[in-house]
Amino acid sequence: MHAQIEKQLNLYKEKQKNRGRLLIKCPDQPGIVSAVSKFLFDHGANIIESSQYSTDPQGGEFFMRIEFECAELLHKLEDLNEQFKSIGDTFSMKWTLSSVSKIKRTAVFVSKELHCLRELLWEWQSGDLMTDIAFVVSNHEVAREEVELLGIPFYYIPASKENRAEAEAQQLALLEEHDIDLIILARYMQILTPNFVEANPFKIINIHHSFLPAFVGARPYDRAYQRGVKLIGATSHYVTNDLDEGPIIEQDIMRVDHRDNIDDLKKIGRSIERSVLARAVKWHLDDRIIVHGNKTVVF
Tell me the CA distances in angstroms from 10 to 4, 5, 295, one per residue in order.
Answer: 10, 9, 34
The CA distance from 53 to 74, in Å, is 29
Supply the residues annotated as catalytic.
244
- H or E element in which residue 72 lies: none
DSSP classification of residue 214: S
Residues of 216-244 as b/e, b for ≥16 C-beta within 10 angstroms? eeeebbeebbeeebeebbbbbbbbbeeeb
List, in sequence order, every residue forming a beta bridge with 68; answer none if it has no partner.
Answer: 20, 47
- H or E element in which residue 69 lies: strand 61-70
